Structure 1
């Protein structure tokens, strides 16, 4: 699953992936020779699988470049901010507590949420690249490909396995835990990763206990539009977050994740609550605010309980892309849908 001054909208990164394929490749000999020359470290080498490729590390990365927001905040959550040498722009995005200060200290290498163009990217000499979509590795867009970065000793890891449109639809919350454990191995901090996984699993268990037995709230998840409507169907991250939070996606029978849905379909869906993708960074004529998008939804589903109650939640779009924030968002959505369950 977007960014500043007129670039590909973060939530639409999944659509951009349709034009990009990830070719299986192994780490470049040059990168391997560099690592073999380094002094061996306890617990290394480690090998993880990502996007059908095996990535082997003889030592923890120390010069990391991160892409869109969820990739940066996932590393920060693991306490790895000091390893990040460059990051993309997402300005006034919805930062988690304490992360904006860390974001400000990391050098910015791109004026958009996308990684920089090929020459600039290769010049970073990164020893690890973390992102959550394939759009920033599209040669047709002037970006360095996964293969080119790999050959330069900058192996790429894609969060959530969002390596193809099909894999976007197959994403499960468990993929987030796999990512955290893999990153823990790669950076030599498996205990930190396991601790974070345990905390997040406990949050999910708490939400499940609180909403269990309650009538699911009918939810429309939308990114705006007066016709057709940009909305979220029955596959992918948003669908799962709604279900885990005690909701029922009114478009669960619609194939796909982020997709276009007819006005008639939305009008007949009768949601009791609306989730609106919130792009805090981009605002303008082509990027309406969350309240404006909510009003669009209410106008289409005008006789619905959600419209009558003006009931909506602005959900940071970063939470709708792979990253550890997915689990935090489940709690936020559950509190919105079932406030009484969190009253105690």
Structure 2
């Protein structure tokens, strides 16, 4: 069975909605708020806001995490379920206060979604807007006054491969403008850039560690190639993706490719459920990876880091994960 990222990619809409989004008119008819209207381009669509959204629905959890990091939890009226891995510090309490509108990681079906009356929808893939899956489309939500913003530029399968870490900074700045908190967004961006700059300084001059990033499998192996978000994080953390020559992000590779790669460290995607189904545990996936790469330095040292799959999607968490990966790959650089 294909894993979480494969599901998200397989359902992605390639069209991404070319019609302009519905303009959000002021509910009071009052004079425009300072700094508004705000116009943002997202997935080739123009989103215009005359006032900050106040009734937001979020899809897969990294979207909610990003809003919470901006101090915008009070604007979120509905969220999807998150039961895959640990919450970021201080966010579980906020999550629990927000009504759950879907028992899965996906947005609810069309009728339920349209009934939310949201004035903004934030997600990090187009999977939850596929008419074939019974979901409200981007165009239908636009027409209902619920404009959609997709994080990370993950607007089509091709664009997921073009992701760079800078796109998360752009998202944070865009959300700051949309919600009327640009100073808050700039402060968060500066803090995150500082963290990445610190990592860059610490790992500079050190030999990159050869890394295999995998989501398990006995053959073929679900792994991460030389494009996309996971590859970007490995590189930024002072690692060298042993599958960098493999085209794609989440993909399948042979047992022979993994065995020959000789990784020095292994990242294993961590999550527990997918649409309510129990998935292979991180322990089972780790065992598979160590068995396949049994003659590698990583297997010899049992050097494995579980990586929350939510960090492998666009959002605030993927920047924090770079620091975690760097500490794992270069522990000596973070001592003293």
Which TM class, normalised by the smaller chain length?
over 0.9
Separation of aligned partners in 2, 1:317 and 1:237: 11
Residues 1:216 and 1:270: Cα distance change in structure 2 (over 3 Å): same
Matched, 1:208 2:200: yes
Separation of aligned partners in 1, 2:5 and 2:123: 14
Match in the other structure for 2:15: 21
Of 291, 299, 302, the match for 2:294: 302
Match in the other structure for 1:322: 314
Cα deviation for residue 233 of structure 1 reads: 0.2
Please identify, of 264-273 and 280-289, the stretch whose mean Cα deviation from structure 2 is larger.
280-289
Task: Output aligned runs, 1:151-190, within 5 Å.
Answer: 151-190=143-182
Of 211, 218, 223, the match for 2:215: 223
Q: Answer whether contact 1:271 1:306 (CA < 8 A) is retained.
A: yes
Match in the other structure for 1:142: 134
Q: How many residues align?
A: 336
Matched, 1:111 2:111: no
* 1:301-320 deviation line (CA, Å, top 9, x unaligned): 11001111111000000000
Q: Answer whether contact 1:93 1:281 (CA < 8 A) is retained.
A: no
Cα deviation for residue 15 of structure 1 reads: 2.4
Separation of aligned partners in 1, 2:28 and 2:276: 50
Cα deviation for residue 287 of structure 1 reads: 1.4
Q: Answer whether contact 2:13 2:155 (CA < 8 A) is retained.
A: no
Residues 1:283 and 1:314: Cα distance change in structure 2 (over 3 Å): farther
Separation of aligned partners in 2, 1:108 and 1:284: 15
Cα deviation for residue 288 of structure 1 reads: 1.4
Q: Answer whether contact 1:17 1:164 (CA < 8 A) is retained.
A: no
Separation of aligned partners in 1, 2:54 and 2:3: 30
RMSD value, Cα? 1.8
SS in 1 for 2:230: helix
SS in 2 for 1:55: strand
What TM-score comes out, normalization by structure 2 length? Answer: 0.96
Cα deviation for residue 13 of structure 1 reads: 3.9
Separation of aligned partners in 2, 1:318 and 1:306: 24
Question: Which stretches of structure 1, 4 residues or longer, exceed 6 Å deviation after superposition?
Answer: none
Q: Answer whether contact 2:125 2:155 (CA < 8 A) is retained.
A: yes
Matched, 1:75 2:84: no
Cα deviation for residue 19 of structure 1 reads: 5.3
Q: Answer whether contact 1:235 1:255 (CA < 8 A) is retained.
A: yes
Separation of aligned partners in 1, 2:58 and 2:95: 11
Task: Output aligned runs, 1:79-98, within 5 Å.
Answer: 79-91=71-83, 93-98=85-90
Residues 1:315 and 1:155: Cα distance change in structure 2 (over 3 Å): same
Of 5, 8, 12, the match for 1:11: 5
Matched, 1:264 2:249: no
Of 285, 291, 294, the match for 1:293: 285
SS in 2 for 1:170: coil
Separation of aligned partners in 1, 2:122 and 2:53: 11
Separation of aligned partners in 2, 1:296 and 1:91: 23
Matched, 1:128 2:115: no
Cα deviation for residue 326 of structure 1 reads: 1.1
Match in the other structure for 1:251: 243
Q: Answer whether contact 1:168 1:236 (CA < 8 A) is retained.
A: yes
Cα deviation for residue 94 of structure 1 reads: 1.6
Cα deviation for residue 17 of structure 1 reads: 3.7
Residues 1:75 and 1:59: Cα distance change in structure 2 (over 3 Å): same
What TM-score comes out, normalization by structure 1 length? Answer: 0.94
* 1:221-266 deviation line (CA, Å, top 9, x unaligned): 0000000000000000100100110100000000000000111111
Match in the other structure for 1:44: 36
Matched, 1:233 2:242: no
